[in-house]
A and B are shown apart, each in its own frame.
Chain A
Amino acid sequence: MSGAVSETKRGWRLTGLEVLLVLTAVVVIGQRWLVDSFTSPALQTGATIFISIFVQALPFLVLGVLLSAAIAAFVPPTLLARALPRNRAAAVPVAGACGILLPGCECASVPVAGSLMARGVAPAAALTFLLSAPAINPIVLVSTFVAFPGQPQMVLARLIASFATAVIMGWLWLRFGRPDWLRMPSRTHLQGSTSWHTFRLTATHDFVHAGGFLVIGALAAAVFNVAMPPQWLDAMSANPLLAILAMATLAVLLSICSEADAFVASSFTSFSLTARLAFLVVGPMVDLKLISMQTGVFGRAFAARFAPTTFVVAVVLSSLVGWWLLT
């Protein structure tokens, strides 16, 4: 699609809006044919899952971009930097603990973290917030409590392992991170004539950016959901180490919302509690839609390093915490 678009642009200098109108017309005219060819159950199931992830994430994404726009427009740049401890290593756990305050799932936290960095919050602290907010907020902890009846230690294990992963990732970034990996969002062109104008510009910009990548992630998750043979999981549950890796990988592929993942995890009854903990710790921090959105907001160089490292740290910490609390 994008190839055709750029071509028309160069050829006739069509504006994007005109391309949009033409595309809409084509889809409306081709509707009958499209509906008729949409009959395979696998395709329908994939489409439903794709749309479901998108529809479910949409309100959270809107909440995220509104928050991020509010930070950009109404919070003075110095305020946030002053609110955190001056010492960056100390700011990391404080930022991680602030994650409790954002009651959304992971789609909301990506634009907010981008906005925090643009407002002068040290990247290490903003990244810790990015990881901790969807993992340890009250809604997620309560749903974990409900999903694992009689096993309140699961809530504690999730809280500790997620918080520790987020903080360690922040410290790792402080120690090894390089600023040029992070394409820091430049937002000078989003400076409007008034605060309200800035708010609108930022919200529109952030939505369009993160939204496109949300679509990629949702699509990938839907494809995996339909293409994955249902039996491969059961084969892995017997080996304790393989079980942890399988559940962690599944969390990445399924890309379900952190508010629902506890119920899904509890259904994998053939897996150890530690393996299911890995699912809960990895899911809100690394999954297909998140990796895609991080690529969009922070750049490819960043996502290619950050996501795999987070995965490894999350798996190691879930194993340790699981061994400590859940056996």
Chain B
Amino acid sequence: MSRELQGGILMLVGIVTLRVSWGTTYLNYVKEGMRPWLLLSAAVLVVLGLLAVIDAVRGRGEEKDPQDSEGEPEGELGDGHVHAHGGPRTAWLLLLPVFTLFVVAPPALGAYAASRDVTNSVAAPQLLPPLPPGDPVPMYLSDYVTRAVWEKGISLEGRSVTVSGFVLPTEQGWQLARLQILCCAADAFTSKAQPTNVPAGFARPPADTWVTVTGHWVPGGGTESGTAIPLLEVESIVEIEQPVNPYD
């Protein structure tokens, strides 16, 4: 693989990274805190790539470095090769994420990923601070689930809460679900709550519909277990757009 091509690929990876992290698409994949690092790496890649292309263009006409065109063993993965190069042909593969991001920009994980996750609340039983004032109290679904499952709902009793999530269809109806990521979407966890007293208009909404539910905790659904799914009695429910940051 020639150096100008290496440079071109570097620039493409840099540009697509810039594009993804400039807006909010990156939030489908990683945490918000990664943004400065993504922008910085994008800049580094674009500059390195551009310099490599400039080098190659300038070098043309002059005596050609044999490494540049045919010298590098393309593809042969080691094994007896004197030249110590891990087949730069694999570098073509870098175009796969580049094109995927340019063309389809895969959506945030949703109901399909959530349906494959058998555990629900993962938080270890620590004492959580009391709910902040407010009626209803806006909170993350993961927080609701942790309080309901690991504190048996003590801090939720008598309070009205609003939580947002997407629809995860089940056999009997649907659950309210939201994913939480720690580093990237490969390590996503699901939080699930079972809405009860659901208004007729929301009996079976399509999977991945985003909703905000105002409701209150009611006992049931199990406690102190990783697979318990707490109940949430619905007072009102509205359909919403997917939040900018789709994860808790």
Stretch at the interface among A75-83, A208-216, A239-247, A319-327: A208-216
A272 near B: Cβ within 8 Å? no
A259 to B183, Cβ gap below 8 A?
yes
B67 to chain A, nearest CB (A): 4
B184 to A53, Cβ gap below 8 A?
yes
A257 to B3, Cβ gap below 8 A?
no
Stretch at the interface among A55-63, A84-92, A124-132, A164-172: A55-63
* A297 CA / B87 CA spacing, docked (Å): 9
* A97 CA / B34 CA spacing, docked (Å): 27
Kindly identify which residue among A27, A52, A149, A266 contacts B99, using a CB–CB cutoff of 8 Å. A27
B44 to A66, Cβ gap below 8 A?
yes
A230 to B102, Cβ gap below 8 A?
no
Write the chain B residue with the least CB distance to A66: B44
A48 near B: Cβ within 8 Å? yes
- Produce 1/0 per residue, B82-105, CB < 8 A to A: 011111111111111101111110
A260 to B79, Cβ gap below 8 A?
no
* A218 CA / B226 CA spacing, docked (Å): 28
A207 near B: Cβ within 8 Å? yes
A109 near B: Cβ within 8 Å? no
A116 to chain B, nearest CB (A): 15
* Number of A-B residue pairs having CB atoms within 8 Å of each other in the complex: 231
Q: Which residues of A contact B85 (CB under 8 A)?
A: 186, 209
Write the chain B residue with the least CB distance to A219: B96
Q: Which residues of A contact B13 (CB under 8 A)?
A: 58, 211
A208 to B91, Cβ gap below 8 A?
yes
A231 near B: Cβ within 8 Å? yes
A122 near B: Cβ within 8 Å? no
Kindly identify which residue among A2, A42, A222 contacts B92, using a CB–CB cutoff of 8 Å. A2
Sorting the interface of chain A by its residue count into under 10, 10 to 19, 20 to 34 or 35 or more gives 35 or more
Given A17-B8, A295-B86, A51 and B182 contact (CB-CB distance below 8 Å): no
B183 to A266, Cβ gap below 8 A?
no
Kindly identify which residue among A45, A47, A184, A207 contacts B100, using a CB–CB cutoff of 8 Å. A47
A299 to B86, Cβ gap below 8 A?
yes
B211 near A: Cβ within 8 Å? no
Q: Which residues of B contact A152 (CB under 8 A)?
A: none
Given A27-B99, A48-B109, A183-B78, A204 and B48 contact (CB-CB distance below 8 Å): yes
Say whether chain A's binding surface is mostly helix, strand, loop, or mixed.
Answer: helix
Write the chain B residue with the least CB distance to A31: B103
Q: Which residues of B contact A101 (CB under 8 A)?
A: none
Q: Which residues of B contact A200 (CB under 8 A)?
A: 48, 51-52
Write the chain B residue with the least CB distance to A228: B116
B108 near A: Cβ within 8 Å? yes
Q: Which residues of A contact B189 (CB under 8 A)?
A: 267
Kindly identify which residue among A204, A218, A263 contacts B49, using a CB–CB cutoff of 8 Å. A204
Kindly identify which residue among B4, B75, B91, B184 contacts A17, using a CB–CB cutoff of 8 Å. B4
A204 to B79, Cβ gap below 8 A?
no
B153 near A: Cβ within 8 Å? no
Kindly identify which residue among A45, A298, A299 contacts B112, using a CB–CB cutoff of 8 Å. A45
A5 near B: Cβ within 8 Å? yes
Q: Which residues of B contact A264 (CB under 8 A)?
A: 182, 187
Given A48-B108, A66-B44, A263 and B184 contact (CB-CB distance below 8 Å): no
B5 near A: Cβ within 8 Å? yes
* A266 CA / B125 CA spacing, docked (Å): 12
Kindly identify which residue among B8, B185, B187 contacts A48, using a CB–CB cutoff of 8 Å. B185
* A260 CA / B13 CA spacing, docked (Å): 24
Q: Which residues of B contact A31 (CB under 8 A)?
A: 103
B124 to A297, Cβ gap below 8 A?
no
A269 near B: Cβ within 8 Å? yes
A215 to B94, Cβ gap below 8 A?
yes
Q: Which residues of B contact A312 (CB under 8 A)?
A: none
Kindly identify which residue among A208, A230, A231, A299 contacts B10, using a CB–CB cutoff of 8 Å. A208
**5 A-B pairs closest in CB distance:** A212-B90, A260-B183, A16-B5, A56-B184, A296-B86
Write 7 A-B pairs (CB below 8 A) sorted by A numbering: A17-B4, A44-B112, A51-B106, A55-B34, A58-B13, A183-B84, A211-B93
B interface residues, Cβ below 8 angstroms from A: 1-10, 12-13, 17, 20, 26, 28-30, 34, 37-38, 40-41, 44-45, 48-49, 51-52, 65, 67, 71, 74-75, 77-79, 81, 83-97, 99-104, 106-113, 116-119, 122, 124, 126, 182-187, 189, 226
A interface residues, Cβ below 8 angstroms from B: 1-2, 5-6, 15-17, 20, 23, 27, 31, 34-35, 38, 41-42, 44-45, 47-56, 58-59, 61-63, 66, 148-150, 183-186, 189, 200, 203-205, 207-209, 211-213, 215-216, 218-219, 221-222, 225, 230-231, 234, 254-257, 259-261, 263-264, 266-270, 295-301
